[in-house]
Structure 1
Amino acid sequence: MMEMKARSKWLRMYKVFSLALLIILQIYWYKWTRKSEAEWEKLWSGIGKRFRTTLFELEGLLIKIGQFISIRSDLLPKAFIQELLDLTDKVPPSEWSEIQRILNEEWGSELSKKVVAIEKEAIASASIGEVYKGALQDGSIVAIKVQRINIQSIVHTDFRTLSILVWFADRFVPIPKGFINLKVLFQELKQVIERELDFTKEMDTLLYFKERFKDSEMVKIPDVHQELCTSKVLVMEWVEGKRLNDSEAVEKLEMPRQELARRLMKLFLPQWLEPGMFHAFSFLNYNQSNYDKIVSQVKIY
């Protein structure tokens, strides 16, 4: 078993290194042969598809990297970015048996003693965890966020791989001076991901925002069921929501866009200007399709 795990880690590292090398070689070849703009666009689209396929296959931290890259249209070609949009909320889910095992291990009992019902199909699935809809014995409908199987080991392997790639790129890839500091970016990413691997920290953040906005009539913070939360499981109130970039949903709101914008600014300006935590989101309230930001999702009234 240990030998198999070691082999899978080396295979994972090999796939990442080979993908990175192939992309670098293709870019240098196109520069050397002075390809046309149309050919460059086709190249970046192909690179994006290959990149997305590899990330979906390997999952883990690499999905998080892809999600970060997918919002940097200011730095990367549009054809490449377009291929990565699915990384936000369409990551293949785990087998239910794996999720059930984690829940049993974390709760120390059978699922039936904690919940009266739980849907076996994930509502949303992303890089570190997945969300399932369930019902508690008191009738409460909840969102149950469960950490992916072996994700901590996978993330550790990915960080080792990325550290080597950052070292190589810092020395051999002609990145313009002052354009981006890969070492600093890597350290920040490592710090953020290590924090996200502990769901109790996410629970604490949710409770912080719930206390902070307890007197606000504009925002709804989901209740958290602390007795069911662990470092790998987060259970909170189920709240339906829509994306702010969903034009049709925004048009159907009873309030005009100007009023919505005013309320959003009133909600977020204090977070920007006053000491304390800041939470960025893109929802009218909790929406399962981006549950990595499940903490402190808000509902605008």
Structure 2
Amino acid sequence: MFFSTKVKNFQRLQEIIKILLKYGFEDVVSTTSLSRFVPIDDWKRDNRPVLKFSRSERIRMVIEDLGPTFVKFAQTLSNRPDILPQDLIEELQKLQDNVAPFSEEEAMAIVEKETGMNLNDFVSFFDNKPLGAASIGQVHRARLKTGQDVVLKIQRPGAREQIHTDLRLLREFVKHTKHFFERYGILNPDEIIETFEESIINELDYTIEAKNIVQFRNAHKNNEKLHIPYAYLEYTTKKLLVMEYVSGCKITDKRTIESWGLDVKQVALNGLHLYLDQIFNQGYFHADPHPGNVLVRPDGKIILIDFGMIGRLTKYQRYSFANFLTSMGHGDARGMAMHLRRISKESEAEDLRVLEQDLSELVDRYIIHSSDSTLADITGTLQEIIYKHHLAVPGSIFMILRALAILEGICNVLWPSLESLPEIEPYGKKLAQEQFSLKNLSSDFYYSFYQISSLIYNLPMELKYILKKTRTGKLSINVEHKGLEPLTKQIAESSSNLNIVLLIIGLLISSSIVMTSPLTYLQRNAMGMPTVSTIGYSLSLILMFYLLIKPKSKK
């Protein structure tokens, strides 16, 4: 059976395959077991010339037709240039949630079910028209009975079930097309699905977003330049988020900001430094700073909304990333290569000199010999280098690069001549000093001392255990051979061929002996040859012909 019985949405699978065929991805279907599932008539594309688009553009078209879950999946992948090539990343970043809002009756019914109250007992005002709609939920303005203006983020009916169904389909789809992805350099599609599944399942639980809001409010409660909306945890559930209503203009609305008498340059600097503080000082940051999520109040305070996507860095990731940026600012390609390797969880870039050479070209092009280079330019080239060298860089690092590139674009709207790198450099220097502070070095020394002490304490017991196993003959060593399967098949094939060759030689020799035998009782054919010799020679010829036409196994 092609798909497991766990996958109930059989028609959805057919829809996916038809869309793949519609946009010219016959090879995805024809080179995998998906081909068993498609009637030949469905290979037509209505004469639409989709092949005039690039492969990356057609991938985007497929995802747009597959629906919200797949759009979310692609949006997640657009932050992972260590997995996908740059041209595909650029196409996936064009994807948007284009979904119609669900009805006000459904929205009110969900609110009543989640709160356990009649809507009129919960709010004194409910705006029937949503402020915005997305693939997972939509937002309505309301006013609590206690008088506070709030927004209600309501989960779309059936969203959880649809997403779980599509996740099952994604897993099955990847299982049957894994070799196809590997041919295009995507070596770990299963891991990608697992990462996405964890991310989108978290988005389905609004209590997680509410806790993120509380964490941010506590961390920035003394920051007079930033406002984080209040989350009403007592009303929030997995399908309903109740938070303070905030108003302001988008941070890119330069005309409105100026009409309020605010200094747009200072607003740009405030926005940039708010994020740099989150990344380098706090270690966790708002990872989706597009203009719709960053607002400005008339008093100049910046408002952050939508905390569904949060990035986190460990202390040592912050140190390595800060050192990487500091090395880049100084034009030190060797330092960049060293710190980039430290950030990576694992790396196939065994020759550091090749990585250093690529980073040196980046420095020459954008840092030393260019005065108008942007973070977006640097980030794009850096992502290509990471992809080229198969560096397993944590996803949070790509979130930072994406966030900084977006922020630079925002700042350029307000202050076109603002250079971002000089603003980042002090944070890198501060972290470098913190890394080698007495407090941090003492902490590292204590941790190292504890590890060594633990090793010394456990070593005698471990050695005793190994010696006991050896003495009783119960010590077993498992050896896993990798890459020997083709050789094993070749040896088995050669052995089989050798047996046939020996049989042919035996038949030829025995037939020749019988041929020269003077015994008169041997039955002979019309040519005077013994019948036994004729059969032997015939079998030899058949076996030799078989060896010639026998298909060779692929290496």
* Coarse TM-score class (shorter-chain normalised): 0.7 to 0.9
1:6-155 to structure 2, matched below 5 A, reads 9-23=9-23, 25=25, 40-41=52-53, 48-49=60-61, 51-55=63-67, 59=68, 61-68=69-76, 74-76=86-88, 80=91, 84-87=94-97, 90-155=98-163
Q: 1:158 Cα shift?
A: 0.8
Q: Deviations over 1:214-243 (max 9, x none)?
A: 000110011122222111111111112444
Q: C-alpha distance in 2, partners of 1:47/1:295?
A: 24
Q: How does 1:1-301 map to 2 (within 5 A)?
A: 9-23=9-23, 25=25, 40-41=52-53, 48-49=60-61, 51-55=63-67, 59=68, 61-68=69-76, 74-76=86-88, 80=91, 84-87=94-97, 90-173=98-181, 175-177=183-185, 181-244=188-251, 254-257=262-265, 259-274=266-281, 276-280=283-287, 281-282=289-290, 283-285=293-295, 293=307
Q: CA deviation at 1:98?
A: 1.9
Normalised to the residue count of structure 1, the TM-score between the two structures is 0.74
Distance 1:168 1:271, change over 3 A: farther
Give the RMSD, CA atoms, in angstroms: 3.6
Measure, in 1, the Cα distance between the counterparts of 2:257 and 2:308: 20
Residues 207 and 237 of structure 2 are in contact (CA less than 8 Å); yes or no, is this contact kept in structure 1?
A: yes
What stretches of structure 1 of length at least 5 have no aligned partner? 1-5, 29-37, 297-301
Structure 1 residue identity aligned to 2:246:
V
Q: In 1, are the aligned partners of 2:210 and 2:231 still within 8 Å (CA)?
A: yes
Shift of 1:18: 2.8
The 3 A distance-change label for structure 1 pair 22 and 97 is same
Deviation of residue 40 (structure 1)?
3.2
Contact 1:144 1:235 in 2 (8 A): yes
How many Å separate the matches in 2 of 1:181 and 1:248? Answer: 47
**1:158 and 1:244, CA in 2 relative to 1: closer, same or farther beyond 3 A?**
farther
* Structure 1 residues 42 and 193: alpha-carbon distance in aligned structure 2, compared to 1, 3 A threshold: closer
Q: Distance in 2 between matches of 1:209 and 1:274?
A: 13
More helix by share: 2
Deviations 1:36-86 (A, max 9, x none): xx963388667645642442xxx3x234124446778933286x558x444
Match for 1:152: what amino acid? Answer: R
What are the Cα deviations for residues 114-147 of structure 1, in whole angstroms up to 9, with x where unaligned? 1011112221111211111111123322110011
Identical columns (%)? 25
Residue 11 of structure 1, CA deviation = 2.2
Whole-Å separation in 2 of the counterparts to 1:106 and 1:44: 42
- Over 3 Å counting, the alpha-carbon distance change for 1:246 and 1:187 in structure 2 is farther
Determine which structure has greater relative contact order: mean sequence separation of CA pairs < 8 Å that are 6+ residues apart, divided by chain length.
1
2:129 maps to amino acid: E
Residue type matched to 2:122 in 1?
K
Q: TM-score, normalised by structure 2?
A: 0.43
Please tell me whether the aligned partners of residues 7 and 165 of structure 2 are also in contact (alpha carbons under 8 angstroms). Answer: no
- The amino acid that maps onto 1:147 is Q
CA distance, structure 1, for counterparts of residue 55 and residue 17 of structure 2: 19
In the aligned structure 1, how far is the partner of 2:142 from the partner of 2:51? 49
Distance 2:92 2:184 in 1: 21
In structure 2, give the amino acid aligned to 1:231: K
Given the superposition, is the C-alpha separation of residues 292 and 263 from structure 1 closer, same or farther in structure 2, using an over 3 Å criterion? closer
| Kept in 1: contact 2:64–2:95 (CA 8 A) | no
Distance 1:295 1:75, change over 3 A: closer
Give me the whole-angstrom Cα distance separating, in 2, the residues matched to 1:163 and 1:277.
30
Q: Could you tell me how far apart the structure 1 residues matched to 2:247 and 2:57 are?
A: 34
User: Structure 1 residues 248-257 or 217-226, which shifts more?
Assistant: 248-257
Deviation at 1:16, TM superposition (A): 2.2
Please tell me the residue identity of whatever aligns with 1:158: D
Q: Would the aligned equivalents of 1:134 and 1:143 in 2 still touch at CA under 8 Å?
A: yes
C-alpha distance after superposition, 1:153-174 (max 9, x if no partner) = 1111111111123233431245
Secondary structure in 1 matching 2:286: coil
Do 1:129 and 1:292's aligned partners in 2 also have CA atoms closer than 8 Å?
Answer: no
Alignment size in residue pairs: 270
Deviates more, 1:119-128 or 1:267-276: 267-276
Q: CA 1:261–1:278 in structure 2 vs 1: closer, same or farther (change >3 Å)?
A: same
Distance change (3 Å), C-alpha of 1:69 and 1:188:
closer
2: CA distance between counterparts of 1:263 and 1:77? 29
2:226 is paired with a residue of what secondary structure?
Answer: coil
How far apart, in 2, do the equivalents of 1:256 and 1:188 lie? 39
Q: Partners in 1 of 2:255 and 2:52 — Cα distance?
A: 34
Q: Give the 3 Å change call, closer, same or farther, for CA 154–168 of structure 1 in structure 2.
A: same
Q: For the Cα contact (< 8 Å) 2:125–2:144, is it kept in 1?
A: yes
Q: Cα distance, 1:148 vs. partner? A: 1.1
Q: Distance in 2 between matches of 1:237 and 1:217?
A: 18
Counterpart code for 1:154: Q
